[in-house]
C-alpha cells in the first residue's frame, strides 16, 4: 500500500509570506532613469502622477547614460535643479549603467549663519 | 489630376497606443510585416515608432517613451514629388497620411514612393514625364507664382524614324534630351519629355525671359552634333508669363492644361511659319484661390 502511494507521489507547495508596508511614494526622493532602462520618463511620469500626483518633477537630461530624473518637488525648492542633477550624476555616474533605474535618497539641509547687531 | 500620396498609400494603417508596450509594438510590426507604426491616442496621431526604436529599447518600455513625437504627416492630396522632397529634406523613410481631423488614414514608404515616381520618368531619356511637368506647374501657380510653358516640337522627326529606323530615332531623342538638359540653367525651369518628339519646360520666369530661354534651346539643338550627320531642329511655342486675367476661375490644373495647349499650338504655328519660336498671345491665367 505504501509502495503504491510512493509510486503515485505527493506534491506539496510551501508558501513563504513576508508582509511589509508599501512605500508611498515608492521611489523616494529621486529616480535617475537610464536610457535603456525598463521604464522611460513617460512611464515614470504616469507612475508618479498616479501614485503621488503633483509631488514630482520630471527633468529630461542631456546625458549619455541617463535620460531623465524624477525629483521630489520640495527638494527643488531648496536646491536648483541643475545643481542637484549635476551632483547626483557625478556621484552615481561611475556605478550606473544605461539599463538601470537608480533611486536616491537625498536629504537637503540649508545651513544659515548670520550676524546681527547687538 | 496630379498623382498624390492618397493614390499609393497603404491603409488604413495598423496603429499602436502610447500606453502600450514596446514588446507589443514589436509583435505588431512582425505580424504585419511593417517597419513602423503610427502611434494614435484618442483618434489623433501623436507619434511614430519604427523598428529601429524597438531594437534599441527595453521591451517593457511604453511606446510613449520610445516613439518619435514629431511625426511628419501629410494630407492625402500631397503630390508624389512634394512627398519625396519632404522625405529627403527630413531624412526619413515613411510618411503618415492623415485626414482633416488629424487621424491617420495610411502610410507611404520611401520605397513605394520611389517605385511610383519611376513611372513618371521617361525611360528613354531619363527626363521627367508630362505628369511631373503638369504637377510642378500647378504647384508654382498654387504658390502664387506666374509661370511660362515652353513647348518644343522636333521638326520632321517622323521622317527620321521612317527613314533611319526607330533605334536611330531613339538615339536622336536621347541627344535632344541631353542638349536641352545642358541648355536649361540650374533653377531656370523643369524640363520634361512631354511625349513622342515633344519636350516642354515650365519656368517661373516672365514671358520675355521664357522666350529668350526658348530661343536658346532652339539654338542649342541647331548647334549640337548629331549622329549619322543628321540635322535636327525644333520649333517652340511659349505661353503664360503674363497675367492678363483674374485668379478667380478654374483650378491650377486647368490653367496648366490651358497653357500647355496654347504653347503646343504656338509651336505648331512656329513650325508652319518656320519662325523658330512663337509666343501665344492673349494668355489668361485664371486659377482658383486655394
Q: Do the Cβ atoms of A41 and B60 come within 8 Å?
A: no
B280 grid coordinates: 501665344
Q: Is B166 on the interface with A (CB under 8 A)?
A: no
Chain B: give the shortest CA distance to residue A105, in Å. Answer: 24
Tell me which residues of chain B have a pLDDT lower than 70: 1, 242-250, 281-290
Confidence of residue A2 (pLDDT cuts 50, 70, 90): low
Query: CA A37, CA B138: separation in Å to the nearest integer?
Result: 50
Q: Which H, E and C letters describe chain A, residue by residue?
A: CHHHHHHHCCCCCCCCCCCCCCCCCCCCCEEEEECCCCCCHHHHHHHHHHHCCCCEEEEECCCCCEEEEEEEHHHHHHCCHHHHHHHHHHHHHHHCCCCCEEEECCCCCCCCCCCCCC
- pLDDT at residue A6 in the model: 54
Query: CA B112, CA A115: separation in Å to the nearest integer?
Result: 76
Chain A: give the shortest CA distance to residue B65, in Å. Answer: 5
Residue A113: pLDDT over 50: yes
- For the stretch B140-145, contacts whose Cβ atoms lie closer than 8 Å and that sit 24 or more positions apart, written own/partner, are B140/B202, B140/B204, B141/B252, B141/B255, B141/B256, B141/B285, B141/B287, B142/B252, B142/B287, B142/B290, B145/B204
- pLDDT at residue B269 in the model: 86
- pLDDT at residue B157 in the model: 87
- pLDDT at residue A94 in the model: 81
Distance in angstroms between the alpha carbons of the first and the last residue of chain B: 16
Q: Record the pTM.
A: 0.70
CB B188 within 8 A of CB B136: no
- pLDDT at residue B163 in the model: 81
Query: Which of B57, B62, B63, B69 should one mutate to test binding to chain A, selecting the residue with the greatest count of A CBs within 10 A?
Result: B62
Predicted confidence (pLDDT) per residue in A8-67, tens digit:
788 999 999 999 888 777 778 999 999 999 999 999 888 888 888 888 999 999 999 999
- Taking the CA of residue B117 as centre, how many other CA atoms within 13 Å lie in the half-sphere pointing to its CB? 20
Number of residues assigned to chain B: 290
Query: CA A8, CA B219: separation in Å to the nearest integer?
Result: 103
Predicted confidence (pLDDT) per residue in B224-254, tens digit:
888 878 888 899 999 987 654 444 456 888 8
A-facing residues of B in 37-56 (CB < 8 A) are 56
Q: Do the Cβ atoms of B62 and A46 come within 8 Å?
A: yes
Residues of B in Cβ contact (< 8 Å) with A37: 58, 61
- pLDDT at residue A114 in the model: 93
- pLDDT at residue B165 in the model: 86
Chain B: give the shortest CA distance to residue A13, in Å. Answer: 30
Q: Which of helix, strand or coil describes residue B237?
A: strand
Q: Is B64 on the interface with A (CB under 8 A)?
A: yes
Q: Which of helix, strand or coil describes residue B279?
A: strand
B219 grid coordinates: 539654338
Query: Which of B22, B59, B63, B65 should one mutate to test binding to chain A, selecting the residue with the greatest count of A CBs within 10 A?
Result: B65
Q: Tell whether ipTM is more than 0.90.
A: no
B139 grid coordinates: 504647384
Amino acid at each position: 500500500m505504501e509502495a503504491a502511494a510512493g509510486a503515485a507521489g505527493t506534491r506539496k507547495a510551501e508558501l513563504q509570506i513576508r508582509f511589509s508596508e508599501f512605500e508611498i511614494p515608492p521611489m523616494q526622493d529621486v529616480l535617475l532613469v537610464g536610457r535603456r532602462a525598463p521604464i522611460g520618463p513617460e512611464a515614470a511620469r504616469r507612475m508618479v502622477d498616479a501614485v503621488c500626483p503633483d509631488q514630482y518633477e520630471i527633468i529630461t537630461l542631456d546625458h549619455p547614460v541617463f535620460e531623465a530624473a524624477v525629483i521630489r518637488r520640495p527638494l527643488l525648492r531648496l536646491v536648483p535643479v541643475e545643481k542637484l542633477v549635476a551632483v547626483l550624476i557625478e556621484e552615481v555616474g561611475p556605478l550606473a549603467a544605461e539599463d538601470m533605474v537608480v533611486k536616491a535618497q537625498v536629504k537637503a539641509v540649508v545651513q544659515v549663519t548670520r550676524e546681527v547687531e547687538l | 489630376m496630379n498623382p498624390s500620396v492618397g493614390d499609393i498609400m497603404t491603409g488604413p494603417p495598423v496603429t499602436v497606443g502610447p500606453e502600450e508596450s514596446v514588446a507589443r509594438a514589436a509583435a505588431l510590426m512582425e505580424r504585419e510585416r511593417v517597419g513602423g507604426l503610427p502611434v494614435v491616442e484618442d483618434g489623433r496621431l501623436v507619434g511614430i515608432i519604427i523598428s529601429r526604436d524597438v531594437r534599441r529599447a527595453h521591451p517593457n518600455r511604453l511606446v510613449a517613451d520610445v516613439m518619435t513625437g514629431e511625426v511628419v504627416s501629410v494630407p492625402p492630396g500631397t503630390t508624389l514629388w512634394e512627398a519625396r522632397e519632404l522625405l529627403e529634406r527630413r531624412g526619413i523613410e515613411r510618411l503618415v497620411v492623415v485626414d482633416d481631423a488629424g487621424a491617420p488614414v495610411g502610410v507611404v514608404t520611401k520605397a513605394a514612393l520611389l517605385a511610383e515616381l519611376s513611372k513618371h520618368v521617361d525611360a528613354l531619356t531619363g527626363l521627367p514625364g508630362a505628369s511631373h511637368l503638369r504637377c510642378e506647374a500647378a504647384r508654382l501657380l498654387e504658390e502664387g507664382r506666374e509661370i511660362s510653358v515652353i513647348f518644343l516640337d522636333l521638326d520632321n522627326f517622323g521622317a527620321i524614324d521612317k527613314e533611319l529606323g526607330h533605334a536611330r530615332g531613339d538615339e536622336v531623342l536621347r541627344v535632344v534630351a541631353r542638349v536641352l538638359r545642358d541648355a536649361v540653367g540650374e533653377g531656370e525651369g523643369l524640363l520634361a519629355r512631354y511625349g513622342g518628339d515633344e519636350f516642354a519646360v515650365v519656368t517661373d520666369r516672365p514671358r520675355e525671359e521664357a522666350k529668350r530661354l526658348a530661343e536658346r534651346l532652339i539654338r542649342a539643338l541647331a548647334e549640337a552634333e548629331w549622329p549619322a550627320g543628321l540635322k535636327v531642329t525644333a520649333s517652340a511655342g511659349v505661353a503664360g508669363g503674363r497675367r492678363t486675367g483674374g485668379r478667380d476661375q478654374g483650378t491650377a490644373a486647368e490653367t496648366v492644361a490651358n497653357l500647355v495647349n496654347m504653347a503646343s499650338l504656338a509651336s505648331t504655328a512656329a513650325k508652319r511659319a518656320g519662325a523658330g519660336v512663337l509666343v501665344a498671345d492673349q494668355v489668361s491665367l485664371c486659377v482658383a484661390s486655394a
